[in-house]
């Protein structure tokens, strides 16, 4: 369980709803669909200034498109290796 809660569109405080909408539109522009978003985006939504800059970087690293040239298979292998090195149960 996360120590810091994820901010979803349905449980977002009023002052963060516009920010989440902007992130959702950015995700839609990058990948052609709005989707549920990525967990790191939901986590960094607590600090909109950080999220505004970090979200596109994380999205392009984790998903195909948005200027990323690495195939999804390599990204998945990097995730697994990083989790293994850091002794994550993930």
Entry pTM: 0.51
Residue 1 reports pLDDT greater than 60: no
66 band by pLDDT with thresholds 50, 70 and 90: low
Q: Higher model confidence: residue 24 or residue 86? A: 86
SS3 89: coil
pLDDT in tens, 21-38: 777 777 777 666 665 566
Q: Which residues of 47-86 are buried (b: 16+ CB within 10 A; e: fewer)?
A: ebeebeeebbeebbebbeebeeeeeeeeeeeeeeeeeeee
């Amino acid at each position: 369980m996360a120590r810091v809660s994820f901010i979803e569109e349905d449980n977002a405080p009023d002052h963060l709803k516009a920010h989440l909408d902007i992130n959702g539109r950015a995700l839609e522009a990058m990948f052609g669909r709005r989707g549920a978003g990525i967990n790191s985006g939901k986590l960094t939504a607590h600090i909109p200034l950080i999220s505004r800059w970090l979200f596109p970087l994380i999205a392009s690293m984790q998903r195909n498109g948005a200027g990323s040239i690495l195939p999804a298979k390599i990204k998945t292998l990097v995730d697994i290796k990083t989790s293994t090195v850091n002794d994550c149960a993930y």
